[in-house]
Structure 1
Amino acid sequence: MSGRVVYLDGKQAQLAELPLKGGGQAAVFPVEGDHGTVVKLYREPPGPDQERRLARMLTMSPLAARPTDQSQPPELAWPTAIARGAEGEFLGYAMHRFGEPEHVQLVGLFTRTQRLRLFPERADWRFLLGVSWNLAFMTARMHHDHLVIGDFSSSNVVVDGNGFVTFLDCDSIAFTDAVTGEPFPCLMHTTDYSSPERQSGAPATRASDDFALAVLVYQLLTAGNHPFGGVPHESTSESTVKDNIAASCSYVVRPELVTIPRGTVDPSVLPPELLTLARAAFGPGVHAPAARPPAEAWLRALDRERARMRICPHRPLHTYGSHLATCPWCTRAALTGHDVFNGPAPVPLPPPPPAPVTQDVPVGGGRFGAVKVAVLLIVVLVLIVFLVGRQGQ
């Protein structure tokens, strides 16, 4: 069954009945007959500010001056048309479609099962390092173009099979209109990636983007571990990631203060330069935005590490930082029985039981086992006794 009809630049478009995804404020619907386009419809009638924001975004071409490889997808799911109803009312906007199997949400890289399903034979630590580099590059590039991502999270970024990233939900990006000078702030945020000032209601800034970037890079390089996970020892109730961020309580900086979740990857898997950046972001940088490493710092450090990482000689999906003398993933698998990057190892077949060892004794030109020889001797003795008895009769 078809869904509602909308008008994109005056042209009628039939939407599917069921959305591809939905959130608290909007839902995204595919366009029937057009696999490459989706329409985001707001659940509540958006105000004139949002309509004006989208109208101004349609006049912009962010990142257009940057040359990209032909295999690289668009870096931003930028609006392509305003969606209106039959009476001309503002409903939402259209954008290019980025979905499975070509693109998956970044959060899909945070678990082994998903990594192996989505990126078989590719999603090793080297791949995650490359995705981190692309994420840092895009953040730095957007800041250079005076754009602030704002609602920066693992659900608002998708990645393709080559590790290229694309930012979704661009209608919440903060910018100042170069023509009119009107600022369009971003008040949307995702708590697990929000700095304390964002949680308090402050608008997005480059520094708040840098905080979210640090969390995402750390998660990628530790195969999904959030740096503010765990429960503080002094907590009287179940603590959330949001609470730990607000309290500046990260096991990456102060592990002695936190009951660390079982199975957490040790922060030492990060090369020293990257770990130093993480500890700056999750320590003094939590409440001091100026102390957070900018995207450019992450980009430079990630670039250096990409050129010198190591490959494990024993397991094909084990790659790791150049600072480590031995493979941390093999060590972890040996200690826990859980391999972060490989599927379950095939169970080896049990060796065949050894053949019974017997001493061969030569008898009459043939070779018989010891048991056979004993039986033959008994038969001979019985025969002798029988013959002696016959002679005595």
Structure 2
Amino acid sequence: MAVRVTADDGRQWWLTERIGWGGEGTVYAVADVPALVAKLVPRPPDPAEYRARIERLVRRRREPRTVRLLSGAAAGAAWPRVAVTAVRGGVHGYLMSDLRGRYRPLADLLGTDGRRTGLPSATWRTALRAAAGLATLLAAAHAEGYVVGDLKPDNLWVDRSGAVGIADLDSWQFTDRGREFACRMRTAGYTAPETVAAPGARRTGAGDDFVLAVLVHQLLMAGLHPFAGLPAGGGRYVSLDDNLAHGRCRLTDRRSVALRGPLPPVDLLPGRIAALLRAAFGPEGRLRPGDRPEAAAWAAALHAELADGRLRDCAENGRHVYTAERPWCPWCDLARRGREEYPLAPGGAVPDGAAADRWPPRAGRTADTTWRTA
């Protein structure tokens, strides 16, 4: 059933098919406006606060600091454009850009099946570029006074070249005219240690920095979460957050967890990236937020790894790309052990558009992309 929404100035839109959903809101297509979608949040904890939050974000879109953000690192952000209310039921929400015209869900880049179907020409260069773009976006958001607060794959998008988009900006934390609009969302496996310990604590940029490190690890390690694995010694697995709380991390202490192989080798990571990850996940980074590498440091290091001469293309498989610090291809090693992360097309051919991770692709809607929301 179609939903009619209205803005304060009297403009109206019809919302048609439901194209995404999550723990808090639902995303709909907007009739006759294919470039936009609408997010409605039926039961926010404080409807008046939520409506004020959206109105402030819409207004801030025209302010210099947000204009800078959206014209630069956050060009792929689905910023709220118009605050709307459902005519029946009074449900609040907003219109935003439809990211599906250019992007795929970031989850497609994290898994073998997702890459095969959604990003068939992606390589490790694509993942490295996405990590660098995400770090740059986060550093720019922090510089303009925003905290993402609920950074996770479900809120992130990526195109065939590795450019990053981000949605669910209505959960961002910011201060406007002396009033703070706090982030209350959190996601298991993508929450900083201090917020796991105290869910009601105020969010900070350091919390975003920790989750950024988690996502960098996943992007560069073929989707492997840094705190995945069974506790060593036969202990009972509880959750990723429990492993985080106890410092069970393969990268910082390989004897702390048991994982089923074959796994991407730790030494596929460039040395400076591995050092930043250990700084984030080791005791100092877990226990002292101020000691974590910040997003700007991540952006500098990741972009440096994309410089000329820092990456090698495998002579045997055109989709195998790896750091110049490695003397041979880690992806070939992994494939010989039964886990092919970047397979060639049937017959040994490089997939159509194999070099798409080197330049922006032509935009085009992908019909089977599902929008996930907070």
Give the TM-score of the pair, scaled to structure 1.
0.81
Q: Corresponding residue for 1:352? A: none
Residues 318 and 344, structure 2, Cα contact 8 Å, conserved in 1: no
Q: Corresponding residue for 1:217? A: 216
Q: Corresponding residue for 1:65? A: 68
Secondary structure of 2:277 counterpart: helix
Cα shift readout 1:167-202 (whole Å, capped 9, x = no counterpart) = 11000101111xx21111112111111012222212
Structure 1 or 2, whichever has the larger Rg, is 1
Cα shift readout 1:81-130 (whole Å, capped 9, x = no counterpart) = 1111337945211111112x621111111112211322222x11111111
Residues 84 and 95, structure 2, Cα contact 8 Å, conserved in 1: yes
Number of residues paired by the alignment? 338
Q: Corresponding residue for 2:161? A: 162
Matched, 1:339 2:336: no
Residues 60 and 66, structure 2, Cα contact 8 Å, conserved in 1: no
Cα shift readout 1:242-294 (whole Å, capped 9, x = no counterpart) = 21112221111011111123232122110010000001111121121112110
Residues 41 and 92, structure 1, Cα contact 8 Å, conserved in 2: yes
How far, CA to CA, are the matches of 1:88 and 1:27 in structure 2?
15
Alignment of 1:45-60 (within 5 A): 46-60=46-60
How far, CA to CA, are the matches of 2:224 and 2:48 in structure 1?
40
Q: Corresponding residue for 1:376? A: none
Q: Corresponding residue for 1:356? A: none
How far, CA to CA, are the matches of 2:323 and 2:172 in structure 1?
34
1:188 to 168, 185, 196: 185
Q: Corresponding residue for 1:288? A: 288
How far, CA to CA, are the matches of 1:88 and 1:264 in structure 2?
50
Cα shift readout 1:346-368 (whole Å, capped 9, x = no counterpart) = 49xxxxxxxxxxxxxxxxxxxxx
Residues 174 and 180, structure 2, Cα contact 8 Å, conserved in 1: yes
Gaps of 5+ in 1: 348-393
Q: CA deviation at 1:156?
A: 0.4
Secondary structure of 1:35 counterpart: coil
How far, CA to CA, are the matches of 1:303 and 1:33 in structure 2?
40
Matched, 1:6 2:5: yes
How far, CA to CA, are the matches of 1:96 and 1:219 in structure 2?
27
Residues 4 and 14, structure 1, Cα contact 8 Å, conserved in 2: yes
How far, CA to CA, are the matches of 2:86 and 2:74 in structure 1?
30
Residues 116 and 343, structure 1, Cα contact 8 Å, conserved in 2: no
How far, CA to CA, are the matches of 1:58 and 1:309 in structure 2?
41
Secondary structure of 2:55 counterpart: helix
CA pair 36-67 structure 1, distance change in 2 beyond 3 A: closer
Q: CA deviation at 1:63?
A: 4.0
Secondary structure of 1:134 counterpart: helix
Q: Corresponding residue for 2:367? A: none
Quick one: which amino acid aligns to residue 182 of structure 2?
A: P
CA pair 52-337 structure 1, distance change in 2 beyond 3 A: same
Secondary structure of 1:34 counterpart: coil
Residues 312 and 318, structure 1, Cα contact 8 Å, conserved in 2: yes
Quick one: which amino acid aligns to residue 95 of structure 1?
A: M
Q: Corresponding residue for 2:300? A: 300
Quick one: which amino acid aligns to residue 98 of structure 2?
A: R
Q: Corresponding residue for 1:268? A: 267
Quick one: which amino acid aligns to residue 114 of structure 2?
A: Q
Identity %: 33
Residues 8 and 94, structure 1, Cα contact 8 Å, conserved in 2: no
Matched, 1:78 2:79: yes
CA pair 66-185 structure 1, distance change in 2 beyond 3 A: closer
RMSD, matched Cα: 2.1
Q: CA deviation at 1:344?
A: 6.5
CA pair 345-6 structure 1, distance change in 2 beyond 3 A: closer
Residues 229 and 261, structure 1, Cα contact 8 Å, conserved in 2: no
Quick one: which amino acid aligns to residue 51 of structure 2?
A: E
Secondary structure of 1:316 counterpart: coil
Quick one: which amino acid aligns to residue 233 of structure 1?
A: A
How far, CA to CA, are the matches of 2:329 and 2:272 in structure 1?
19
How far, CA to CA, are the matches of 2:124 and 2:42 in structure 1?
40
Cα shift readout 1:279-314 (whole Å, capped 9, x = no counterpart) = 111112112111211011111111221111111122
How far, CA to CA, are the matches of 1:188 and 1:142 in structure 2?
18
Q: Corresponding residue for 1:313? A: 315
Residues 73 and 164, structure 1, Cα contact 8 Å, conserved in 2: no
How far, CA to CA, are the matches of 1:67 and 1:4 in structure 2?
29
Matched, 1:35 2:34: yes
Give the TM-score of the pair, scaled to structure 2.
0.85
Q: Corresponding residue for 1:354? A: none
Q: CA deviation at 1:161?
A: 2.3
Residues 195 and 246, structure 1, Cα contact 8 Å, conserved in 2: no
Q: Corresponding residue for 1:257? A: 256
Matched, 1:24 2:23: yes
Secondary structure of 2:335 counterpart: helix
Q: Corresponding residue for 2:363? A: none
Q: Corresponding residue for 2:99? A: 98
CA pair 66-193 structure 1, distance change in 2 beyond 3 A: closer
Quick one: which amino acid aligns to residue 260 of structure 1?
A: L
Residues 193 and 215, structure 1, Cα contact 8 Å, conserved in 2: yes
